[in-house]
Amino acid sequence: MANPQWHWGTIPDSPPTLEERNALIAEEKRVLQKVQQAQKGYCAACGFPAMAALRGHKQDGRWFGVCPVCRAGLNLAFAPEEAQMVFMPETPQVKINQTLHTIYAWMHSADRNQLDTADIVFDLINDRSMYTESILGVRQLTPGGLLAQVWDMSPTERQGAQRLLQHLRLILFPEAIASAVDYWHKTVYPRWQPIQRKPS
């Protein structure tokens, strides 16, 4: 199964209706097992265990298995609000997602250094969020708040903002996907321990 050309942070022209949201969620559940088997259970974007399905191309209807972190970044209209959009043009979204998985693992670690590092990273994210608000002139950087502001823009205003918006990256906080993080803590993170431990 070939991967699509991922379009991170795509902003739809209008907010999805409740019927559209429910229909997409139902279809994702229907195809999830099939795409997981085709990809041997791994996310087509970042390589982490896939737990959701996402339509990669509306034109040909292809579906791909993705992890919840990548699903949110690829479909902002469905992203949870426990997140921040930050201006990070130097870093691809998929690299950020892979880093987030490592931080989530550190947050479940007994290693004090790893716990402290996770706290520092999220402090830096908050600093970057304030910087992003100042350069974009927006009031909110949650996915829903940002989308609402974009949808209120005129077509001309949106076209001007799009050059900056394409450099925004989604930072998903662990509470947004708490059940997934708990599952990974039991099934995936323990296998990371030999890699995370420093040699004595």
User: What pLDDT is stored for residue 140 in this prediction?
Assistant: 62
Indicate if 189 and 96 belong to the same structural domain: yes
Whole-model pTM?
0.78
Instruction: Provide the 8-state DSSP code for 51.
Output: -
User: What pLDDT is stored for residue 138 in this prediction?
Assistant: 61
Q: Which amino acid is at 142?
A: T
Paired strand residues for 170: 85
For residue 191, being part of any structural domain is answered with yes
Q: What is the DSSP string of 149-179?
A: HHHTS-HHHHHHHHHHHTTEEEEE-GGGGHH
In contact, 9 and 168? CB cutoff 8 Å: yes
Indicate the number of domains in the chain.
Answer: 2
Indicate if 137 and 165 belong to the same structural domain: yes
Please give the angle made by the CA atoms of 67, 42 and 12, to the nearest 5 degrees.
40
Read off the pLDDT of residues 61-90 as tens digits, 9 standing for 90 and up: 778 888 889 888 888 888 888 888 888 888
Indicate if 162 and 121 belong to the same structural domain: yes
For residue 170, being part of any structural domain is answered with yes
Q: CA-CA distances (angstroms) from residue 145 to 77, 168, 179?
A: 10, 14, 24
Which domain, by its residues, includes 88? Answer: 78-196
Indicate if 69 and 109 belong to the same structural domain: no
